[in-house]
Each structure stands twice: as C-alpha cells, then as structure tokens.
Structure 1
C-alpha cells in the first residue's frame, strides 16, 4: 500500500510558511503501515495541480491532498480533483449548518463563496472539520487511486486526520505491515568514517534500512524494519544493532531521538550516585552549564569553579604555582592538578578540568584548538588527554565540553564496580529504547 502527499499552496513554494502537514501525515501513515515514497508541493494553479494529481494517481494507491479547501479564489483543490474524477461537488448539510450558524452567532454577513467550504466530491465520504469550516473527504475509486482531502491549517488538519481519516483508512485497507525504528547515537566518529566502516553491512541489508545522519558534534543511525508485529521487527533490528556495535561499538553511547551525550552520562552518574565537580578555564563554565540542563543533576553536582586566570587556578583549586611556572597552563600537569584540586575542594567522586586555547590567537606558543582535559575519577590515578579541535572560538569550547563528557562516559563504562551493579546495568547497559514510528 503506497501513498503520496500533495501539499497545495503557493505560500509553501515561496517559503512563507513551513510545510509541517506532510511531516505529520507521513508519521500517521507509517503507523498504519502505509508507505509514502513521494511528497509533492504545488502552487495554487489549476493546471499544475491537475498535472500532479494525475502523476500521483498513476504511481500510488492513495493520494492525499492538503490545503486549498477554503472559500477564496485560489482555493482550487476540491474543484480540480472533482474535475479529474469527473464528478460533481455536493454539499455536506452538517458542514453548511455549522458555517451559517457561525456567521449568525458572530453577527456577520455570509458571502456566497463561504458555501464552497461545505462542498466535497460526489461519491466521497465527508470528513468533519472539528476546528474549522472546510469539510474534508475520502474518495475510494474502483479504477484509480483513492483520494483524501484535508484542510491546510495544521490545527484543523491534525484533528481531522487523527479522528476522521485514520479510522477510515484503517477500515479500508485493513492490517498492514508497520515500520518500526530504532535510533543509535555515536560520538567521536565522523559521518563519512561511520558510513565507510559500515558500508559492507549497509550494502547487504534488505530487511533493515540503515540511515546515517550527521548531528552537531555527533552522528546517529536510524535502523528501520517493516513487519506485521513489533516482535518480528525487533528481532531483525536487534541482529543489525549487534553487528554495528561489533564494528564501531566504542563510539556508541545510547539510543533514542531525544537523547544526548550529556543526558546519557549524567543520568548514569545519578544512577551510580557519583558526585562531580569541574574546574574550567577556556570553557568558562560551559561544561557546568551543559550538565545543569539535565533534570536531577543537583543530586550529584554541588557546584564547581571557573578558573580563567592563572591566579584563580592557584587560589580556587590549589594548582601549585610551580606547575604553572614550569609547565604552563596549557599542559597535562595543569589539567591534572585542576581536576584533582576541584575534586578535593568539594569532596566529590569525580573532578574534571578544561584548560587550553579557545582562540583566535595562540597561548604559550600553542595554537587555537589545543585543549587538555583532566579527569580525577574516584580513587583511580588522575589522567589528562590532549585534543586538537578545529573551528571558531565557540566551536572549540563546545567540542571541548563534548570531549569531556565522552571521557566521563568511558570512565563509567570501564568502572568494574558499576558493571557489577545489577540495578545500574538494568538501567543502562541493556537499554534498547525501541520505537514504533
């Protein structure tokens, strides 16, 4: 079963409004197991609209038209469709009564063109508009594609599609295989490298589609399968999921459309009851602000330090002046001292530090993008890692924060105490966040 969505409106073509209707409908079709391979936008022109209707009807079982059902001169959708179907337009009496009652209640004169909103193609099933006046319609044909007419305003379309159209589509087409999806998230690998390393797997897949998407500072994979039941789809996706992890597992950090690296890491720390603090130089509090966006972080984050100046590093987190004098602030030794000093000052389980060159100029002979991140994790030896980030000043700061979160992620994953905690494992290690689209 295949459908095409046609959004009608010159204002969409001109970019004056965003076509959110097609997105909404496409999601609803997926829930019904109806494939949607084409989406078209056409202006308020009878000839061009007639052409796209004919093309869509030839290559689909169902054609959905949105917009152009109103009373103005450029609302031509139902008239054009009726002409294509060679049927008349008839009046829906309930819709007509609603329109006349509205004008009477609001003490306004109803012009003749408002009657157009109550018309629909003869032979179709009228669809009630609960949030407006223009009636919709579902037309089933024996010799051609079926047609669904929906209004353009999103608040009208959404209610009509959910309450009126979807039940009729389900009744008309019966049970269809549905699309189920899972989103995997990765940090530390580019989209091009991820695609290259997974190319053999992508090429051999038939039952499961693998779609990579580049996000800001990370990459996601959407695994999708079409099946009659969620259990069947889960089995297909699980197999591919395991193959992907076997190939690029170290970069994988979590599941879900709405997930993020900071959410994953901080929720793991909350579950493990590991407190954290930070000492930040070039990031100037950005790391602390980022973890502060996660609900519940107050349980593990008592506060931290912004140690931008050398004096602040010494005064606030006890970085020995000798280290600063001998090694400089852009150094492994300073990063380690900042992390351990912050941890000691607030008596937390974890201390993390950021020191480096955000740019645009150099510092201590180090180019912009040179960053050291220190990590004092529980009773483990303090360590620091050097990075070289590209980009402008803000991008370097943001990438530093992401790298710090990734250092924490690896520390948590390597913590044998956490792996032995069955409650922690049940929350994170075995999470699959399976989604039905």
Structure 2
C-alpha cells in the first residue's frame, strides 16, 4: 500500500504555519505498516487541488487530506473532491446537531455557512469530531481509500487516533509494522562512518540504513518491517551490533537524546558531582547542563574565566603558567580543572580553554582546544583537540567533545 498526504491551505505555502499534521500522520501510518511515499501541499485553489488529486490517484492507494473542511469560502476540499469523484455532498444530521448544540452552549448565533461543516460525501464513513465541529470522513472509490481530516491539529490528531486508525485497520487488515531506531554518533564524520559500514549499506534489505549528518554529529536511522514487533526489534538489534562492532567507540545514544543528556544520566547513575571552568566556551557547558532536569543534584558550580586576570585571581591559575605557556595550553587546562574541582569540592572538574577566532590572542591556531578533566582518585587528564568551524561552531563542538570525554571516562573508570 502506498500512502500520500495532501495538506490543503494557502497558509502552509506562505509559511505562516508548519505542516505538523503530515509529520504526525506519517509517524502513525508507519507504525501501522503503511508506507508514506509523498507529501503534497496545495493552496486554497480548486484547480490546483484537482491536479494534485489526479496525480495522487495515479500513484497512491491511500490519500489523506488535512484542512479545508471549515465553513468559509476558501474551505473547498469536500466540494472539490466530491465533484472529482462524482459523488454528491449530503448533510450528516448527527454532525449538524452537534454543531447546533455547540452554538447553543456557547450562546452564539449560528450563521448559515456553519451548516456547510455538516456536509459529507455521500456513502462515506463518518469520523466524529469530538474537539471541533466539522466531521471527518473516509470513502473507498475504485480501490483507492480517501480520508478527510480537519486542519487544526487539536481536532485532527484525536480524530485519527480514535477513529481513523481503526477505519484503516478494519479495511486493510494487519500490515507489516515499520519500526525505526536512531543511533547517534559524535567524533566521526559522515563520510568516514559511511566508509566503515559501506558493505552493510550496499547489502541492506530489511532493515534499511540511512545515515544523516548534522551539527557536528552523525545519526543512523535503522528501519525494519515485520508483522511481529518482537521480530522487528531483533532485526534492529542484529544490525546495530554489526554497525557498532566497527564504529561503536563513537556511539553515545538513541533517538532524540543529546550528549549533554547522556552526561547527566551518567552523573546521576554514578552519583558524582561536577563543576566547570570555562574560558573558550564562555559558560556554554554550564548553561546546557542547567537546561537539563535534575542538574541541582550533580552541578556544584562553575566559573567563566575569560581573561588571564580572572584565571589568576579567581581560579588561582599560576602567574608562571600564564606568562610562560599561556592560557591556551595543556598546563593551564590542567590547573583550571584541578582548581575548579578543589574550589567547589566536586568529584569532577572540567576545563575548557582554546582559540575560537576569528583572530588569535596567542600563538595558537584557530580551533586549538584543550579540555582538562580532574577526577577524584585519578590523575588529571588533558585532551588536546583541533576543532573545525567558525567561532560559534568551535565553541559548541568543544562542549560536545567535553561531554563525550566525560561520559567515556566515567564509564571506563571509577571516580572515587
């Protein structure tokens, strides 16, 4: 079965609202095993809508419309499609009573055009609107299933969940379910990751593999199809294991998680406190950490020490270090990490210092970064990195590297 979603409304084309309905319906249909092959957006124009429908009929078995069921002149979905299908519009008495009752309860005058919302395509299956006025409907014509849903998400979502899903399942029976899993990686480029698993990509059948790069990270979406969900999960597990045998050192989590969230999870799991000394990142690490629920249980504090004077006076970095090797150095990162840990009585202290550009203050290349990690019972470790990108990209990626390094160290060692 090939599904298509047609969203009707000029406001979508003008960018006044986002087409979240299509996203929601695609997710729901995938869970039901119904593949969505096309998304179409068309304005409030009957000729263009007819063209879109004729195109959809030539390639899809299921066509779902959202929007255009309201009372105004530009709400033309029902009128246009009923004409195209050669079906009359008739008044659904239950829907009309529902609309009349709504106006009585709200003590408003019902205008004549509101009756338009009770019109449905003759012989269609009615989808009750429990959160609005215009009912939805579904009808099968020439082996194509048409479904009409309202545009407002607050009406469309419950209508589909409560009535639309059941309609399709009763008509189509059990379909192969589509189960997806997103694997998240950091510290490896998309091209390198694809090279490392190229033979798996070339031989993919079920599950499928879809790599995607973004914001310094790489994700892989694995998608399996099977009638039994447990079998689909087993297929995903097997393929995930094969992939992570090769690139597992860069793997950090699933689906919509983030590096900062995963760090928070590990800190809670290990029951460890942390503090941060930030020069290059200017408080970005601490800001992101405090945006995650539960921060108060793990974060003791932090210092933004952007100038050498602040590093010396507040963080107690030695004058000798700043004069001889400078702020962008292994020794400075080490002292920053150890001193913030001591000053805040934390289990872990992390420091960030480096050169983000666009000009350099010391004799260091742009992108040179030092991350220091001081942990109770362990020797302080300083990581030297070269981070590519513009100023803000370097700062953001440095925070991610800090999270990744902390997660790895916490998982591999016991911080006393």
Which TM bucket (shorter chain)?
A: over 0.9
Q: Secondary structure at the match of 1:33?
A: coil
Q: TM-score, normalised by structure 1?
A: 0.89
Match in the other structure for 2:263: 265
Match in the other structure for 2:243: 244
Q: Is the 8 A contact 1:369 1:390 kept in 2?
A: yes
Q: Is the 8 A contact 1:190 1:219 kept in 2?
A: yes
Find out whether 1:47 has 2:24 as its counterpart. Answer: no
The within-5 A match list for 1:248-397 is 248-257=247-256, 259-397=257-395
Match in the other structure for 2:140: 140
After superposition, the Cα gap between the structure-2 partners of 1:84 and 1:339, relative to the gap in structure 1 and judged at 3 Å, is same
Q: CA deviation at 1:108?
A: 5.0
Distance across 1 between alignment mates of 2:102 and 2:349: 65
Match in the other structure for 1:227: 226
Q: TM-score, normalised by structure 2?
A: 0.93
After superposition, the Cα gap between the structure-2 partners of 1:38 and 1:317, relative to the gap in structure 1 and judged at 3 Å, is same
Q: CA deviation at 1:40?
A: 1.2
Q: CA deviation at 1:188?
A: 0.8
Q: Secondary structure at the match of 1:248?
A: helix
Q: CA deviation at 1:105?
A: 5.0
Q: Is the 8 A contact 1:57 1:144 kept in 2?
A: no
Q: Secondary structure at the match of 2:219?
A: strand
Aligned Cα root-mean-square deviation (Å) = 2.0
Distance across 1 between alignment mates of 2:347 and 2:105: 67
The within-5 A match list for 1:48-63 is 48-63=48-63
Cα displacement string for residues 272-317 of structure 1 (whole angstroms, at most 9, x for unaligned residues)? 1222222222222222222222222322322222222323323333
Q: CA deviation at 1:111?
A: 4.0
Find out whether 1:35 has 2:35 as its counterpart. Answer: yes
Q: CA deviation at 1:251?
A: 0.7
Match in the other structure for 1:423: none
Distance across 2 between alignment mates of 1:103 and 1:249: 60
Match in the other structure for 2:65: 65
Find out whether 1:168 has 2:160 as its counterpart. Answer: no
After superposition, the Cα gap between the structure-2 partners of 1:348 and 1:100, relative to the gap in structure 1 and judged at 3 Å, is closer
After superposition, the Cα gap between the structure-2 partners of 1:346 and 1:109, relative to the gap in structure 1 and judged at 3 Å, is closer
Match in the other structure for 2:148: 149
Q: Secondary structure at the match of 1:317?
A: coil
Match in the other structure for 2:11: 11
After superposition, the Cα gap between the structure-2 partners of 1:43 and 1:306, relative to the gap in structure 1 and judged at 3 Å, is closer
Match in the other structure for 1:187: 186
Distance across 1 between alignment mates of 2:272 and 2:17: 47
After superposition, the Cα gap between the structure-2 partners of 1:174 and 1:369, relative to the gap in structure 1 and judged at 3 Å, is same
The number of equivalent residue pairs is 415
Distance across 1 between alignment mates of 2:288 and 2:103: 53
Cα displacement string for residues 175-195 of structure 1 (whole angstroms, at most 9, x for unaligned residues)? 211111111111111223322
Distance across 1 between alignment mates of 2:282 and 2:146: 58
Q: Is the 8 A contact 1:361 1:367 kept in 2?
A: no
Distance across 2 between alignment mates of 1:275 and 1:160: 47
Distance across 1 between alignment mates of 2:339 and 2:100: 75
Q: Is the 8 A contact 1:69 1:76 kept in 2?
A: yes
> Unpaired segments of 5 or more residues in structure 2?
none
Q: Is the 8 A contact 1:186 1:253 kept in 2?
A: yes
> Unpaired segments of 5 or more residues in structure 1?
419-437
Q: Decide which moves more: 163-172 or 51-60.
A: 51-60
Cα displacement string for residues 406-435 of structure 1 (whole angstroms, at most 9, x for unaligned residues)? 2212212332x48xxxxxxxxxxxxxxxxx
Match in the other structure for 2:203: 204
Distance across 2 between alignment mates of 1:45 and 1:144: 26
Distance across 2 between alignment mates of 1:293 and 1:109: 48
Cα displacement string for residues 28-83 of structure 1 (whole angstroms, at most 9, x for unaligned residues)? 21222211111111222222222222232232222111111122222221122222
Q: CA deviation at 1:107?
A: 5.5
Distance across 2 between alignment mates of 1:71 and 1:306: 58
Q: Secondary structure at the match of 1:69?
A: coil
Q: CA deviation at 1:324?
A: 1.9
Distance across 2 between alignment mates of 1:28 and 1:139: 19
After superposition, the Cα gap between the structure-2 partners of 1:242 and 1:110, relative to the gap in structure 1 and judged at 3 Å, is same
